[in-house]
């Protein structure tokens, strides 16, 4: 069996907020043409009809204010360019128009096309170039945070496309309960940054199972002591606040929060794992964003097998129901492990957040049911450690662990 | 091994608890408000969430309710009626005087911490 899979005991998922692939990693197309990022051929029309190209002018803060709309109707406009006809096709031509709707300022609306340079984001771009970057990881829904994060926990949003609480009254268990109730029992934890930041999974997990949660400091302690659970899900700090240790700046990268603070946070998670040699050998870290936040990306989200739920025309706000048969906009996703060859680019395979519970379930539990149709059809980013392992799909493929992985000075 | 320097943001610019609450934090506050209504009375805050306008105000409410949820579950776990819904603990026969006493004990440190946010 591949030693990377043999050694793998922990999977950590860090889910950041509201940035698209092109916005964060698009610059890397110039470094490695296999990475499907920004090119000169891309553009969006503004409301005057002028062509607006992506430009490397993104700023860490105070640029995307107001927060770009990323609720279902706005994302529909972004993806379909305003075409509401039955025979429409997705073209990713409505981002500037959508942002214009918020302030009716043509100049400001063009900023939705801006992206970061490689040197601005030394953490994210280094990890993408050093480990495995996914060319086709999409948000699960063309909509906002809460319903997209639900896919990471449950493999479905139970029919929701909005920010309302998702109350589970369905047979699909969250990934934590699956692991904790398995025989033999597995271990899992959600780490929120601190109680003042808390979690976005309030309605079910925090309210009914608060024992699932720990703080980010506990994550650091668990890494240091070698007590990390088999599965960890980390939430960033969602707000600026004071704490006993001083000022805590939001590090979720949600506009208009500071992007550099998020870079530091990502590096901190990486360092915490890497500084424990045993943990580094036995852990895979997935860094992924919950959705694109209304920011431009050029890849058309593909259709997918529908879920067993349908959002009504009233709930979508577009006048049309949604069968969860199309993915959301593409987001950055990077898998980190010393068993991954440097410069791995995962192309020609499609992932979304349902791939998270799908992967965790298959790797730790093997077969499991019931699971949502969307999760059952989702691809996995780590192969089950069961013969035969397909070498073409196994990302942790090295025979010998790397010793050249970078360190971050935080 | 390469050591990569990670620049730090300027806190004077990045930190702004007076920033208006974004849609995500509004939703989080609403969800926590829903959860708070299911807590035993003695664990609830007296914060009127419609008056929350800034990130700092939202943060303080989020902290109080998150802490209260954990405290309510710990309190329920100590009861012999373990496994019964938390809501049932609200009317669990604790003498009224005792409830008031516990409430007063809980609130004191919260106000102190809240003044620093």
**R_g (Cα) of chain A, nearest Å:** 20
A250 in reach of chain B (CB within 8 A): yes
Strand residues in A135-226 grouped as ranges (E): 137-138, 188-192, 213-215
Q: Decide: helix, strand or coil at residue A21.
A: helix
Query: Per-residue confidence at B84, pLDDT binned at 50, 70, 90?
Result: low
Torsions phi, psi for A169 (to 5 deg): -135, 45
Instruction: Give the C-alpha separation, A94 to A81, whole Å.
Output: 4
B3 in reach of chain A (CB within 8 A): yes
Identify whether A95 is part of a domain: no
pLDDT in the model for residue B81: 57
Identify whether A166 is part of a domain: yes
Identify whether A315 is part of a domain: yes
B83 in reach of chain A (CB within 8 A): no
Q: How many other C-beta atoms can be found within 10 angstroms of the C-beta atom of residue A255?
A: 22
Identify whether A67 is part of a domain: no
Instruction: Give the C-alpha separation, B55 to A197, whole Å.
Output: 10
Number of domains into which chain B is organized: 1
Identify whether B9 is part of a domain: no
Say whether pLDDT at B26 is over 70. yes
pLDDT in the model for residue B88: 47
Say whether pLDDT at B113 is over 60. no
Residue A278, H or E segment: helix A277-281
Identify whether A82 is part of a domain: no
Sign, CA torsion A8/A288/A351/A168: positive
pLDDT in the model for residue B103: 36
Strand partners, A344: A132
Sign, CA torsion A162/A164/A168/A173: positive
**B62–A198 C-beta distance less than 8 A:** yes
Say whether pLDDT at B100 is over 60. no
Identify whether A292 is part of a domain: yes
Identify whether A204 is part of a domain: yes
Say whether pLDDT at B117 is over 60. no
Number of domains into which chain A is organized: 1
A residues 174-233 closer than 8 Å to B (CB): 195-200, 202-203, 206-207, 210-211
**A403–B24 C-beta distance less than 8 A:** no
Contact (CB, 8 A) for A26 and A38:
yes
A125: domain CATH number is 3.40.720.10
Instruction: Give the C-alpha separation, B100 to A374, whole Å.
Output: 49
Instruction: Give the C-alpha separation, A192 to A211, whole Å.
Output: 12
- pLDDT tens across A127-166, in order? 999 999 999 999 999 999 999 999 999 999 999 999 999 8
Instruction: Give the C-alpha separation, A316 to A333, whole Å.
Output: 26
- Structural domain boundaries enclosing A272: 3-27+117-377
Q: How many DSSP H helices and E strands does chain B contain?
A: 5, 1
Which residues have CB under 8 Å from A175's CB, separation 6+?
A153, A154, A155, A188, A231, A356, A357, A360, A361
Query: Is beta strand B3-5 parallel, antiparallel or unpaired with respect to A407-409?
Result: parallel
CA distance A261 to chain B (A): 6
* CA distances to A25, A37, A129, A287, B7 from A29, in Å: 8, 5, 11, 19, 23
From chain A, the residues in CB contact with B35 under 8 A are: 202-203, 206-207
A122 in reach of chain B (CB within 8 A): yes
Interface test with A, best of B3, B5, B8, B9 (most A CBs within 10 A): B9
Instruction: Give the C-alpha separation, A162 to A395, whole Å.
Output: 34
Instruction: Give the C-alpha separation, A322 to B37, whole Å.
Output: 32
Which portions of chain A are predicted below pLDDT 50?
none
ipTM of the complex: 0.96
- Structural domain boundaries enclosing B53: 18-114
For residue B83, what is the nearest residue in chain A, using CA coordinates?
A208
Minimum-distance CB partner of A123 among B6, B30, B116: B6
Which residues have CB under 8 Å from A273's CB, separation 6+?
A12, A223, A228, A279, A280, A283, A285
**B11–A203 C-beta distance less than 8 A:** no
pLDDT in the model for residue A405: 98
**A406–B34 C-beta distance less than 8 A:** no
Identify whether A274 is part of a domain: yes
Identify which of B37, B45, B40 has the alpha carbon closest to the alpha carbon of residue B64.
Answer: B45
Q: How many other C-beta atoms can be found within 10 angstroms of the C-beta atom of residue B5?
A: 9
């Amino acid at each position: 069996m591949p030693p990377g899979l043999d050694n793998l005991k922990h999977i950590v998922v860090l889910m950041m907020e509201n940035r698209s692939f092109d916005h964060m990693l698009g610059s890397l197309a110039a470094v490695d043409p296999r990475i499907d990022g920004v090119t000169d051929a891309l553009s969006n029309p503004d409301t005057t009809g002028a062509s607006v190209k992506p430009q490397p002018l993104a700023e860490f803060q105070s640029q995307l204010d107001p927060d770009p709309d990323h609720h279902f109707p706005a994302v529909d406009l972004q993806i379909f360019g305003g075409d509401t006809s039955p025979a429409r096709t997705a073209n990713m031509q409505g981002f500037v128009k959508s942002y214009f709707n918020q302030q009716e300022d043509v100049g400001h609306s063009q900023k939705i096309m801006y992206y970061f340079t490689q040197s601005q984001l030394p953490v994210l771009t280094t990890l993408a170039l050093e480990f495995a970057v996914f060319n086709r990881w999409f948000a699960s829904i063309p909509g906002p945070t809460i319903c997209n994060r639900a896919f990471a926990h449950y493999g479905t949003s139970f029919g929701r496309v909005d920010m309302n609480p998702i109350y589970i009254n369905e047979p699909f268990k969250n990934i934590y309960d699956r692991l904790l109730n398995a025989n033999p029992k597995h271990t899992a934890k959600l780490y929120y940054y601190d109680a003042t930041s808390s979690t976005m999974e309030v309605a079910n997990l925090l309210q009914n199972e608060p024992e699932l949660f720990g703080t980010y400091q506990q994550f650091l302690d668990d890494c240091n002591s070698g007590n990390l659970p088999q599965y960890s899900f980390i939430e960033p700090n969602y707000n600026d606040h004071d704490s006993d240790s001083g000022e805590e700046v939001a590090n979720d990268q949600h506009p208009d929060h500071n992007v550099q603070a998020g870079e530091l946070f990502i590096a901190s998670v990486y360092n915490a794992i890497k500084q424990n040699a045993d943990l580094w050998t036995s852990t895979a870290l997935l860094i992924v964003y919950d959705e694109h936040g209304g920011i431009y990306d050029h890849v058309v989200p593909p259709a997918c097998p529908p879920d067993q739920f349908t959002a009504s025309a009233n709930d979508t706000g577009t006048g049309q129901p949604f069968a969860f048969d199309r993915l959301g906009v593409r987001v950055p996703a990077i898998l980190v492990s010393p068993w991954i060859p440097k410069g791995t680019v995962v192309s020609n395979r499609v992932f979304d957040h349902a791939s998270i519970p799908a992967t965790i379930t298959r790797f730790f539990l093997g077969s499991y049911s019931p699971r949502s149709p969307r999760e059952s059809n989702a691809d996995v980013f780590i192969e089950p450690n069961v013969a035969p392992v397909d070498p073409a799909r196994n990302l942790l493929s090295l025979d010998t662990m790397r010793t050249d992985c970078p360190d971050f000075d935080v | 091994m390469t050591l990569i320097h990670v620049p730090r943001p300027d806190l004077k610019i990045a930190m702004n608890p007076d920033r208006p609450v974004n849609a995500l934090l509004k939703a989080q506050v609403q969800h926590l408000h829903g959860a708070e209504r299911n807590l035993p009375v003695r664990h609830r805050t007296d914060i009127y969430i419609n008056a929350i306008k800034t990130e700092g105000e939202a943060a303080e409410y989020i902290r109080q309710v998150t802490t209260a949820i954990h405290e309510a579950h710990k309190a329920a776990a100590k009861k012999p009626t373990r496994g019964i819904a938390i809501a049932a603990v609200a009317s669990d026969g604790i003498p009224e005087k005792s409830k008031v006493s516990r409430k007063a004990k809980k609130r004191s440190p919260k106000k102190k911490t809240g003044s620093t946010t």
